[in-house]
Chain A
């Protein structure tokens, strides 16, 4: 499978700082978007540390010929080694941000969301913490594959809010899991096979909090995906007031005809 990937991050029209972060490794194997929070530039620090910690942890262990499971705090046999590794990277980032936040008073309580994918051949490992999202675009439809960690989502699972009520609930702006705030961390994991033509969209809530899923799909499908696809998404967000930092990444999969027919 051939992977093309693009990223964009934009401060928006209402914020002075961009506290989001985005990561794409040169081999297009690991892609992440992060949304940092906290005053006094702490949000920027949180998303940067989380990104660097996750990237170095994952890269260091992903290509080891011998796969040790010793470093895992929890290993879920239903998922591949790489998905477990991605979760462990998030756990490591959680500790790194938490430690950093204890250094200075004004950093206390800072944190970051993350939505990330690791690509291996025909499969994609996906994780998320907080309300940054992952979408799979396949055969002209868009499907959210991340799970929001918000109080609104929690109330939905408990049967207190319906899907419709959830959309307008103020509780959707309160995160129930964030990197760097608590020693306990909830990480949502997902795994997919990918097909030629599939697109994975990663974004922070500065994008998916402003545009509906169908609107993002419409913009992405206007023409073949390239860097300008992301520019169009951001332009639309800013045309609607650009309330927050907005960050997005796209991974586009196509068949490697030489290899696949072997």
Chain B
């Protein structure tokens, strides 16, 4: 004998008590538990029995999958207090048999993990995702709303100060790619003999700014050294492309 308590968006929708199995769950009317939602398959899952005294949940080849707590299952034992999650709905499982007749949860009783530990990828809609994430966080004793330590994010703010060989100005390097060269499309116009149309590129990456040589006989120089491939830029670096000289500045903000 067991109970299934259907909840949807934190509201208890319905409670069911069952004496016998199988109990069928799905969108169609011929199920014992009908969930009227397009994310639920016609015949989605069932609760069955397994010797000697287990209840098991069996997915019936549903499109969006059946979960016990946060694990996707094909067939798995279910214990008092577990949640069956189907689409946006959750069904709390309460074992109504006397305690002595209920099976004990075997620690590490891995839910039917396929050989090799590989799992199917699953798609959940936004609402179901948020619920799962909140539940997962709660199990770990973390509130999604409360203050907690987030991984530090470093925001990078790079800029070029044109010193000579071009219009004196400060150019913020907000773009992921900044083109230096003779081309009319270049973000930083550089002059001089043998300077390429795309003489150099500056790439903003998560871990810093990088300068690369692209084309032209004249290679860009950083602190007097010619760059033939790429290098990471540091605050105060002096960059020369042909006749154009500039200074790179880098500011980091940690949030």
Contact = CB atoms under 8 A, between A and B. Distances in A.
Interface of A: 35, 37-39, 42, 77-80, 83, 106, 108-111, 121-123, 131, 151, 154-160, 170-171, 173-176, 178, 181-182, 184, 190-193, 195-196, 205, 209-210, 240-241, 243-244, 259-262
Contacts of A193: 177, 201, 203, 210, 212, 214, 230
Interface stretch (B101-109, B119-127, B160-168): B119-127
Given A184-B126, A260-B215, A210 B230 contact: no
A151 B132 contact: yes
Contact of A195 (B71, B196, B230): B230
B148 A159 contact: yes
12 contacts: A39-B61, A78-B175, A111-B123, A155-B137, A158-B150, A160-B140, A160-B148, A173-B72, A173-B120, A195-B212, A241-B118, A262-B196
B212 A158 contact: no
Given A38-B63, A78-B176, A160-B137, A241 B230 contact: no
Given A170-B70, A170-B71, A123 B137 contact: no
Interface centre among A178, A190, A195, A259 (most CB of B within 10 A): A195
B154 to A, nearest CB: 14
Contacts of B72: 170, 173-174
B118 A122 contact: no
Contact of A209 (B118, B177, B198): B118
A173 B230 CA distance: 36
Contacts of B176: 78-80, 83, 190-191
A39 B122 CA distance: 12
A76 to B, nearest CB: 9
Given A173-B119, A174-B124, A193-B177, A160 B230 contact: no
B133 A243 contact: no
B11 interface: no
Contacts of B129: 151, 154, 174, 176
A243 B118 contact: yes
Interface of B: 38-39, 61, 63-64, 70-72, 114-116, 118-126, 129, 132-133, 136-137, 140, 142, 144, 148-151, 174-177, 196, 198, 201, 203, 205, 210, 212, 214-217, 229-230
Nearest to A113: B121
B29 to A, nearest CB: 15
Given A122-B212, A160-B140, A193-B210, 5 more contacts: A109-B123, A159-B148, A175-B122, A191-B177, A240-B116
Nearest to B118: A243
Nearest to A256: B215
Contacts of A35: 121
A5 B162 CA distance: 39
Nearest to B121: A173
Contacts of B229: 195-196
A155 B130 CA distance: 11
Given A160-B140, A182-B125, A243-B118, A259 B215 contact: yes
Given A39-B63, A79-B175, A156-B151, A131 B118 contact: no
A155 B133 contact: yes
Query: Top 10 A-B pairs ranked by shortest CB distance?
Result: A191-B176, A243-B118, A159-B150, A193-B201, A173-B119, A260-B215, A122-B214, A241-B116, A193-B212, A174-B122
A157 B151 contact: yes
Contacts of A154: 129, 133
Nearest to A176: B129
Contacts of A108: 38, 63
A35 B210 CA distance: 32
A109 B39 contact: yes
B214 A160 contact: no
A250 to B, nearest CB: 20
A38 B121 CA distance: 10
B201 A123 contact: yes
Contact of A159 (B64, B126, B151, B215): B151
A230 B104 CA distance: 48
B52 to A, nearest CB: 28
A92 B210 CA distance: 33
